[in-house]
Structures are given as C-alpha cells and as structure tokens.
Amino acid sequence: MSRPRLRHCSCFTTPMSRIRLRRRLSSSTSRPTPSWSPRAAFAAATERVRDGTLSPQDAHHLFDELFQQATPVPDRPLNGFLAALTRATPSEACRDGPALALSLFNRVYREEAGMRVAPPTIFTYGVLMNCCCRMRRPELGLAFFGRLLRTGLKADKIVANTVLKCLCCAKRADDAVKVLLHTMTELGCVPDAFSYAIVLKSLCDDNRSQQALYLLRMMAKEEGVCSPDVVTYNTVIHGFFKEGKIGKACNLFHEMTKQGFVPNVVTYNSVINALCKARAMDNAELFLRQMVDNGVQPNKVTYTSMIHGYSTLGQWKEATKLFREMTGSGLIPDIVTWNSFIDSLCKHGRSKEAAENFHSMSAKGNKPDIISYTTLLHGYANEGSFPDMMSLFKSMEGDGIVANCQFFNILIDAYAKRGMMDEAMLIFTEMPGQGVNPNVVTYSTVIASLCRMGRLADAMNKFSEMIGTGVQPNTVVYHSLVQGLCTHGDLVKAKELISEMMNKGIPRPNIAFFSSIVHSLCKEGRVMDAHHIFDLVKDIGERSDIIMFNTLIDGYCLVGEMGKAVSVLDVMISAGIEPDIFTYNTLVNGYFKSGRIDDGLNLFREMSHKKIKPTTVTYNIILDGLFRAGRTVAAKKMLHELIGCGTTVSLSTYNIILKGLCRNNCTDEAIVMFQKLHTINVKFNITTLNTMINSMYTVQRREEAKDLFAAISDSGLVPNASTYGIMIRNLLKEGSVEEADSMFLSMERSGCAPCSRLLNDTIRTLLEKGEIVKAGNYMSKVDGKSISLEASTCSLLWSLFSGKGKYREQIQLLPVKYQFFGGVS
C-alpha cells in the first residue's frame, strides 16, 4: 500500500477544477441505489473494525461503493469509522489500522469524491493527527495541524493536546513545552491535566525528570487553573526512578502526600518496583506495609516486584512468604510471577520445590512457557540433576513448547562443566535436527570446556566449524582459545589468534587476562611456562604491570628459585616500575622459606632505604621465619622493633609469637604472654586457644589445658576439629580412654567430622594400649572414601594380628571386613 500524500488532498485543487469535476462526475454517475445508506454502511464497517474482521480490501470496496452513490456521506459516520481504524489493534484481517485510515482519507478528499463527503472537520483532523502519532510519523501529523489552521477552523483543546503528542513523539519536548505554556493560550485553549501529563511523560522518557519537576511545580502555581493530580505526580516519580535518582523520587513522593494527594496503587508500585531493582528490600517492605495501612490493596504488579526483588538477593524464604501471601489474598499469579518465584527457588538449590510449583502452574491457570522451562532447567543444571534435566527436556514437546538455543546451551554447559564432554557433544550434534542452530554462546561453551580439558585440537576444529557455519567468534571464544593455548604451551598459535583478533577489530586480551594465566601456572609450580607467557606479553606489544611482575616473582619464590626471582625484580626496575610492599614481602618470604634468613633480613633493611614502610604482614613473615629457624632471640628483638615503630600488632602476629615460643621450648614464656594478653582483653580466636591447649599438655599442665578447653564457650568461640583432635590425642596419651571416647562423641554431636589422620592416630593408640574392642569401634567409622586406613595403621594391624602377633587370638573382636589381617603370615 502506497503511503498517503498530502498533495492528493482536495485543498490543492482550484475552485474551477472542482466545478468541472463535479459536472463530469454528475454526468457519468449512475442513479443512486435506494437501498444504500451511508450511515448504515459505515456503522457496519465500524463494528467490523472493532471486531478485527475488516480487511483493507473490504475498506476500499466500501469506498468504491461510496464513489458510485449520489447520497452524500455525513462527517460523523466517516469520522467515527476513521477513528475506529486509528484505535484498532493489529489483527489477522488488518495489520495497520492507522495507515489504512490515512490511505482512505486521501481517497475521500481527492477530486474523484466530489461533494459526496462533507468537508473535514476539526474532529477529522484530530483523528488524522492521532493516526500519524500511532504510525510514528509525527511530522505528518504536524503538517495536518498546519492545514487545519489554513482552513480557518479553530483548534480546540483535544486538537491542541494531539499537537503536544505529535511534538513529543517527534522528540521535540522543548517545543511541546512552548506550545503548552504559550501557544495553547494564544489559540484560545486552556491546558488541562492531560496536556501537562503528555509533556511531563515526554520529558521523563527523555531522562529529563528534573525539568519535568520544574514544570510540575509551575503547574501547581497556576492557582487552580490546572492543578497537579496523582497521575502527574506518578509520571515524574517514575521518571526519577527510571534515571536511578531514588532519593529525589522518594522526596517527591513525600511532597505529594504532604500536598494532600493520596498515592494510588500505581504510585506505590512505581516506588516498590524501583526499590526492589535497587535491592533496597527493607525500604520496599516499608512502602508495602504503608500501602496496606493506607487502604491501597497490593496487586499482581506489587507482589511480582517484591518476589523478584527478594529472588535477586537470594532471599528465597521471603519470596516464598510473599508468594503465599499473594495467593492467600485471592490474587492469581501470572506467568511472570510464577517464573520469578521458581527462579528464586532454583538459585538456592531448591529445584525440587521449584518443580512442584512448576507442575502446579497449569492447574492454577498458567501454562509454563519457555522461560519457565529454561529457569527450571537452569536449577537442575546447577545441582547436576541430569535425569531431571532430560526428563524436563522430553516433557516440553507434550506442552507444545519448542526448545530454543538458550535451552540447549544450558544443557551443554551443564554436562561440559562436569567434564562430560561426550554427552555435551551429543546434544550439540542433535541441535540442528531439532531445528535449532548453535549460536556463538553454544560454540563458546563447547570451546571453553575443550580448552579446559586440554583438548586443543578439538577446540580448534570447533572454532573452524563455527566460522564455516557463519557464526562469528566473539571475545569470549578467542579468550578461551588463547588461554587454553597459553596454558598448554602452544604460544605460537596463541600469538596467531591474538593477531587475528586485532585484524578483526576485536580488542586483544589485556594485561589482567595474562596475569591471571601467569598466576594459575605459578600456583601449579609451572613457573617457566609462566615466564614464557610473560615474554609473549612483551612480543604482542603489551606492557607488563606491577601485578604481572609480582606474580612471576612470587612463582619463582614458591619453587625456591630466588636467583630468578631477583632477576625478574631487576627487569621490573629497568622497565621503570618501582617495587611495592607486596614485592618486598614476597621476596622476604621467599628467602625465609628457602632458609636464607640473612638475605631476607638484609632485604628487609633495604626497604627503609627505599622509603617503603613494612606492614604487619611484613613483620609476621619475618617473625614466623625466625621462629621456624630457631632464632628465638632475634624474633623477640624483632617483636620489640614492631611495637616500637607503631605498626599494628594483629591477632595473627600474636598467634605466630605464641606458636613460635612453644615450638622453641619456651612454652612457659608463651603461657605468661597468653595470660597477659588475656588480662588486657585481647580477643583470641580458636587457633590461639588450640595452640595454648596443646602447649599446656606438652609441659604437663593438664588441668590448665582442660580448664582452658572448658572455657572456650565462655569466650564466645566454638571448638573446631583441630581442638577436639588435640584433646583426644592428649587424653589417649595419658591413658584417659573413656574420657577420649566421650570427647569423640562430643565432636560428632557438634557437627565436626573427624579427619582421616585423627581416626588413624586414635586407632593406633588404642591398639598399642590393647584396647582392641574400642579400636574396632573406631575402625568401623572408616568408609574408604573420605577416611581410609593409613599404611602405618595397616602395618601395625599386620604385626599385631598375623602370624605370631600379640593379639592374634583376638582377631574376632575387629570388624569382619578387617579380620583378613589374621590370615597374613
């Protein structure tokens, strides 16, 4: 259908040409059909428009019939018909009512229609201008307004408001403000609340809510001519929230209530939704309660916002409470609310409950959609519930839901993350058969997983396949490949891919990306490989930063290569990067761990010359190193220096000192220090108490050790597995077997799982003491998974129960699965 043009309208013809045309038409027109009534014809057509059954062909046929009749068409039936088309929602019969209305208007007011149709009225022009706004052609609507003025018709308030809509639709809000404040008055039209609402909304849509607020205040000063109402306040409040200016929005809300305006459900929903998006759930809850107290009933939008807000924060219990409150109040959740609630449960590992809600949706009038399926699938995937995932996938077809690419991506990612690449690749190959082609996310998931597994050849094949199918690799794909190639040593290919990225206009990986790879390699002890990455960074023109240098230095220190660590330091300084406190701490720690105490101390002294002040961490490294090296006197001297220089002494420092003193046979001194620290109210942690309890047992101060253990709860602490282990081992050493048994039971009741080492120590000690039955009880706790018998325990069992073993006759007292030790010769 061709676009309507103003040049087709009758105003562009001369009076003489119209007279000649009327004569020609009158001589050629057939006699009027008596049965044809313009009012009835247009009334019937208007009803069909409202029903969505009138097609453009039907409309043009109606006008063909109109042109063959002599009976004139009054303006009201025609205007009503055009107005109905303007407001018509798209349907199978007619996709674009406003465009059809303009096309028919052009036909009516071309020369061929003659005098069969009454001239356009102000209502006609209003309808046409509305058509233009709905068609997103506001400039054409303004042209119609200009034509209206030229005809001598007087604009009314409705037309003026439509002009405002056209200007706002054209993003000419400033011109709309001028028309509102000046031109409308000149045209004899007094702006009403609707006029202001149009302009206020436009300003807010353009993120100019502050200007909208000025206009709102100006409106309030009009002394009753046109006062603000709840709608205008809602518009500006929502505008501020949309711009993220929560404070200004809330202030305007309070100003509104002080002015005597009662917030409605739209006001509260706007406030609550914005606060939920800002994760300010406490404030959202306050507004919700205020809303109820003021007699405004929350609706679906209110509850959906709150449920989504709590879900985003991971507060599924609160989301569940609101969901039940919503349904209990008689509100039926819509699909958006259901999906938000299911998402909340899935994010917290409660996919079973999510599934129950999923299956109850249909019974309550909401059929799950693709988002519902995708959300629940994601929940199953996070929990590794593969049978449930596949069951859900199969059930989609029965509900008439077609799996999309995102659905397949979740399936593939779930299997790939757990190293089940065969299953992931099977789903990948089945996608085209399901009518879904892999997208960049699909390929990215597969390639990243193959790279993590070291299957670089397969990853590169997928990369080539991806390009061959027309899917362009993005930054994530290139980063996965570069990282995989760097990690597995193929730096030549990594460099080629980086060049390819840059040629395609994709930014190359930054220094943080390479620092991450260097860090991972260093932690694995692959420092030489990490150094090669360091060299690659230089080759591609990137400049290493202090983090990269410190990471590589730390890597060499971890493997004891102090010479190479210092070489990297020299390169760092020559590159113009000054070492920081982390650099020195790393090197000092490396020297101490390598046993080069004096080198570490010399570097420590060098720090003051470089004007780098040692931190608590620095002193902790040195104190720990000196105590481990047995240089207790030097450690005590360093402690005095630490206190004297004003550096903070942390609890970690005290723990290092107490443990160091105990390790170097200065336990009594450690106990005295511990007591002094307790006197000055130093807050200890369980590590401190574990050290002191063990030390007290070491110097035979058993009662003090037991008293300290008994006082743990009084200090607000909870014994951990190490605490119980210390107590059990020492009780067994002193022969308090029953007391050790009781302590073990207390440990299990508190939720502390015994480690394999403790259980083996306990079994060996009991066997050595001849407590065969008790040893057997502890052996029954060995599950072969998290806890297993150590070689030394097995060796002791063989020596005690096999051949001429001391306890061979008591082999039956052991658990059945361990009685085979009696048959070993």
Do 351 and 363 touch, CB atoms closer than 8 A? Answer: no
Q: What angle do CA 116, 118, 121 make, to 5 degrees?
A: 155
**Mean pLDDT, the chain, as a whole number?**
87
Which candidate, 189, 190, 215, places its Cα nearest to that of 201? 215
Model pLDDT for residues 715-773, shown as the tens digit of each residue:
889 999 999 999 999 999 999 999 999 999 999 999 888 899 999 999 999 999 999 99
Residues 6+ apart with CB under 8 A from 613: 581, 607
Q: What angle do CA 240, 242, 245 make, to 5 degrees?
A: 45
What is d(CA 509, CA 506) in angstroms, rounded to the nearest whole number?
9
Q: In the predicted model, what is the mean pLDDT of residues 540-545?
A: 91
Structure confidence at residue 270 as a pLDDT band (50, 70, 90)? very high
According to DSSP, residue 631 is labeled: -
Q: Residue 237 above 60 pLDDT?
A: yes
What is d(CA 455, CA 98) in angstroms, rounded to the nearest whole number?
59
Model pLDDT for residues 116-141, shown as the tens digit of each residue:
667 788 898 899 898 998 888 999 88
E strand or H helix that includes residue 512: helix 511-523
Strand residue runs (E) in 397-462 = none
Structure confidence at residue 7 as a pLDDT band (50, 70, 90)? very low
Helix-helix angle 193-205:209-220, to 10 degrees: 160
pLDDT at position 6 is 34
According to DSSP, residue 784 is labeled: S
Q: In the predicted model, what is the mean pLDDT of residues 694-709?
A: 94
Q: Residue 784 above 90 pLDDT?
A: no
Do 699 and 730 touch, CB atoms closer than 8 A? Answer: no
Point out the least confidently predicted range of 93-107, 213-227, 598-612, 709-723: 213-227
Q: Which amino acid is at 660?
A: G
Model pLDDT for residues 325-353, shown as the tens digit of each residue:
888 888 878 888 888 888 888 888 888 88
Residues 6+ apart with CB under 8 A from 687: 655
pLDDT at position 9 is 37
pLDDT at position 115 is 56
554: left (phi over 0), alpha (psi -120 to 50) or beta: alpha
Which candidate, 294, 302, 299, 379, places its Cα nearest to that of 339? 379
pLDDT at position 26 is 35
Q: What angle do CA 68, 71, 77 make, to 5 degrees?
A: 100
Do 224 and 188 touch, CB atoms closer than 8 A? Answer: no
For 231, the token pair is 């709608």
What is the signed CA dihedral for 587, 588, 593, 597, rounded to 10 degrees? 130
Instruction: Give the three-state DSSP class for 297.
Output: coil
Which candidate, 313, 276, 269, places its Cα nearest to that of 290? 269
Place of tokens 């994709």: 506
Phi, psi of 793 (to 5 degrees): -70, -45
Instruction: Give the three-state DSSP class for 73.
Output: strand
Phi, psi of 785 (to 5 degrees): -110, -85
Instruction: Give the three-state DSSP class for 689.
Output: helix
Q: How many CA atoms lie within 13 A of 36 on its CB side?
A: 16
Structure confidence at residue 28 as a pLDDT band (50, 70, 90)? very low
Q: In the predicted model, what is the mean pLDDT of residues 271-279?
A: 90
Point out the least confidently predicted range of 393-397, 697-701, 714-718, 765-769: 393-397
Place of tokens 């390639």: 447
Q: What is the 3-state secondary structure (H, E, C) of 252-285?
A: HHHHHHHCCCCCCHHHHHHHHHHHHHCCCHHHHH
Burial class (CB in 10 A: 0-12, 13-18, 19+), 559: middle
Which candidate, 645, 584, 656, places its Cα nearest to that of 620? 656
Residues 6+ apart with CB under 8 A from 199: 164, 168, 173, 176, 177, 180, 212, 215
Helix-helix angle 386-398:405-417, to 10 degrees: 170
Residues in the chain: 825
Q: Residue 103 above 70 pLDDT?
A: yes
Core vs surface per residue 231-259: b (16+ CB within 10 A) or e:
bbbbbbbbbbbbeebbebbbebbeebeee
Q: How far, rounded to the nearest angstrom, does the alpha carbon of residue 73 sit from its chain's CA centroid? A: 61
Q: Residue 356 above 90 pLDDT?
A: no
**Paired strand residues for 117:** 73
For 172, the token pair is 């000419």
Residues 6+ apart with CB under 8 A from 623: 635, 638, 639, 642, 653, 656, 657, 660
Q: Residue 174 above 50 pLDDT?
A: yes
End-to-end CA distance of the chain: 101
Q: What percent of the chain has pLDDT over 70?
A: 94
Structure confidence at residue 12 as a pLDDT band (50, 70, 90)? very low
Structure confidence at residue 18 as a pLDDT band (50, 70, 90)? very low
Model pLDDT for residues 648-687, shown as the tens digit of each residue:
999 999 999 999 999 999 999 999 999 999 999 999 999 9
Do 178 and 211 touch, CB atoms closer than 8 A? Answer: no
Q: Residue 519 above 80 pLDDT?
A: yes
Q: Residue 160 above 50 pLDDT?
A: yes
What is the signed CA dihedral for 807, 809, 815, 816, rounded to 10 degrees? 140
**Paired strand residues for 286:** none
What is d(CA 300, CA 325) in angstroms, rounded to the nearest whole number?
11
Q: Which amino acid is at 770?
A: G
Q: In the predicted model, what is the mean pLDDT of residues 769-790?
A: 87
Residues 6+ apart with CB under 8 A from 463: 443, 447, 473, 477, 481
Do 551 and 518 touch, CB atoms closer than 8 A? Answer: yes
Do 343 and 311 touch, CB atoms closer than 8 A? Answer: yes
According to DSSP, residue 117 is labeled: B
Structure confidence at residue 102 as a pLDDT band (50, 70, 90)? confident
What is d(CA 491, CA 494) in angstroms, rounded to the nearest whole number?
5
Which candidate, 367, 432, 418, places its Cα nearest to that of 389? 418
Q: In the predicted model, what is the mean pLDDT of residues 233-253?
A: 90
Q: 354 to each of 42, 320, 746, how far by Cα in Å? A: 54, 11, 37
Q: How many CB atoms lie within 10 A of CB 260?
A: 6
Do 440 and 474 touch, CB atoms closer than 8 A? Answer: yes
Helix-helix angle 440-452:405-417, to 10 degrees: 10
